[in-house]
Chains A and B, each alone.
Chain A
Amino acid sequence: MNYVALKMLFGDRAKYLMLLCGLSFAVMLIVQQGSIFWGLMMWSQASITNVNVPIWVTDPGIAQVDEVKPIADTAVDRVRSIDGVEWAVPLYKGLLRARLPNGEYHQVTLTGLESATLIGRPAEVLEGRFEDIRQPDAVVLDQWAVERMGGPTVVTVGTIFELNDKLARIVAIAKTQKSFTNIPVVYTTYERAIHYVPRERRTLSYVLAKAKDEIPVEDVIRRIQSQTGLGAFTAEGFGMKTIVWVLKNTGIGINFGTTILLGFIVGMAIAGQTFYLFTVENLRQFGALKAMGTSTLTLARMIILQAFTVGLTGYGVGVGLATLFGFLAAHGGNLPFAETWQLLLLVLVALLAICIVSASVSIIKLVRLEPGIVFR
C-alpha cells in the first residue's frame, strides 16, 4: 500500500506541486529569516570573531565588546604571570575621528595590535602587506572602511589621512567580517594607537590570551578571574554575552524575534494546512480504500508516509532556495546571512513535528470517516 500512497501523492502533479510549493515556501521563509537574524547576531560580535583569539580579558563589569571599559596597563603582565597562560597581549580599541584628504570627517574604530606578534590581525589581506603596519605612521583599513569612506578612489593603499590631527598612511586593506555598527576599522600597532588617542589614565582595552594546550580553557579563565579580579571569557562566551546584550538593549530582539516567530508560525501553519487540505481532498479515495477493507492502521501509515515524503522534499527545496537566496543576496557579506546547522536542524524537527501533527489530524478524520461516503 506504500506504493499506492506514493502514487496518490505524486499522481496529481498539480496538487503535489501546490503542496510542495507551500511547504518549500514555508521552509524557505523560516530558514531565510532565521539566517538573516543569526547573520545580524554574527555582525554584532564581529569585533570578537575578527580578532580570533581564544581568551578575552576585560573589565569585570563589561557588557559587550563594542562598549570598551579600559583596564589597568599592568593587566597584561598579570595575566602573563598566571599559570596555564601561554601568551597574553594587549589590544587597544577606541573611537576616533579621521579626516580624509577630501576634507570629509569619519568616525572610525582604531584597533591597536601588539607590534611584535600582531595578534588579533585579520587573517586575510586584500591589498598590500599587513606586516608593513610596523612602518612609521602605517595603518591598515578593512574593506568596509574603504566602502564607507567613499571607495578606492578616496582611500586606497598609499593614501595619507589624519587621525586625530596626526598623520596616518594606509599600507594594506584587510578583509573582515562586517560589523553591526559598520564603523570603519583602522588597524595600527598598540604603541602607535596610544600615540594617536588623547592621553587618558587607562589606555588598555582588552588583554588577548591563549591557554596552554594541555590545560582546559575554562580552568585558565577561572584562574584569571580569581587572580586578577578582571573579567575573562572565551571568544564564544564573550560573543554570546554580546549577542544577549544586543537582543536585550536594542529593538532587534523584539522586532526580529517577532518577525521570526511570525514567519515560523505562518510557515508552519501553511505547511500543516496544505497537507491537511491534501488529505481532506483525498478523503473520498481513502473512504474507498477503507470500504475495500484497508485497516485504519494501514491508512494511517499511508498518510504518514505521504506527509514525510512531501515534508522532506519540501524541506530540501526550501533549504535549497534559502541557501540560494543567501548566496545571491548576501554574497560578499553585504547582507547579514548565517545559515547554521542548528537552524537547519531546528526547522527540520519543527517541520517533521508539523507533518506528524497534520497527519494525525487527518488520521483522526479518517478513523471517524464513514466508509459510506463512497456511496454518495
Chain B
Amino acid sequence: MNDDSRPAAVRAQNVVKSFGSGDTQVTVLKGIDLDVYLGELLLLVGESGGGKTTLLSAIAGILDIDDGQIEVLGVPLSGLPSSKRTSFRGQTMGFIYQQFNLLPALTAAENVAVPLFIQKMRRPEALRRARAMLERVGLADRTEFVPKNLSGGQQQRVAIARALINEPRLLICDEPTAALDGPNGQKIMQLLREVGRSPDRCVIVVTHDSRIFHFGDRMANLTDGRIVNIEHIPQEGTA
C-alpha cells in the first residue's frame, strides 16, 4: 500500500482493537494498515459504527490498542508512557470534533489560546496569537464572543483555530461537518483545506458526508474492521 515516496505522518500496521470480553466481545479494528502522508488531506469513510472514531482515538494515543503498531511522525506510540503521550499529543496534534467541544465559559480568543496556556505561554501573548489565528479563519470580529453567541459554523471555525494554534503536524477531524448544514459544512471543509493542509502537516477527516468528498486528496474506506480501499481523488481546478 506504500505507493508514495512522501514521508509518512501516521503509519498504522495491523492495528487490532476489541471492546468487551467473552461472549460480548466485539473486534472493531481487525488489522488496520494505513499510511497518511504529510501534505495531504485524507478522508476516512465507512459505515456508521464501523470503527472510524476508534481508529482516530488509537492514532491520537487516547486509546490503547490490542495488537499492531502505530507510529506518529516516526514515534511509536506504544513506546511512550501515558504522561509523555499526553504531552506529545498536545505538541503534535490538533483535534476537531463533531461537537465542537469549546469551553462555554471562555471567549473565542481564550478558547483558541487554551493549547498555548497548556504550554504555559503567558496570557497576553497567547491571546494575541489566538486573535491572529481567529482572523485567519475569518472571525476577526468575533474574538470576544462566548460560544453560545456564535453560530454552529462559527463555533467550528473557533475549534479549527484552536486546533491549529499550536501548529500541529497532525490535524484529526471527526465528522467536523456533521453538526452543520450543507453550506456551512462546505465552508468548513474549504477552510480545513486552505488553512489546515500544508506541506508539513497532514489532515485526517472522518466523514460520511458525500458532499464534501471532493475536498480530500485520498479517501480510505474502513469496512468490517479493515481498510478495504484507498483511492486518489481527482482534483478539479488545482494542478
Contact = CB atoms under 8 A, between A and B. Distances in A.
Interface of A: 1, 3-4, 7-8, 10-12, 284-285, 288-296, 298, 370-372, 374-376
17 contacts: A1-B118, A7-B103, A10-B105, A285-B103, A285-B104, A292-B89, A292-B114, A292-B162, A293-B87, A293-B89, A293-B115, A296-B86, A370-B62, A372-B57, A372-B63, A375-B56, A375-B57
B153 to A, nearest CB: 19
Contact of B95 (A3, A292, A298, A370): A292
Contacts, number: 81
Contact of B118 (A7, A10, A285, A292): A292
A12 B118 CA distance: 22
Contact of B101 (A12, A288, A294): A288
A11 B98 CA distance: 23
Interface string B97-131: 11101011110001000110110000100000000
B90 A293 contact: yes
A375 B110 CA distance: 22
Nearest to A8: B105
Interface residues of B, number: 31
Dominant secondary structure of chain A at its interface with chain B: helix
A370 to B, nearest CB: 7
Contacts of B90: 292-294
A371 B114 CA distance: 16
Nearest to A297: B83
B189 to A, nearest CB: 19
Given A291-B60, A296-B83, A11 B115 contact: no
B56 A291 contact: no
B198 interface: no
A290 B98 CA distance: 17
A293 B91 contact: yes
Contacts of B114: 4, 289, 292
A376 B99 CA distance: 8
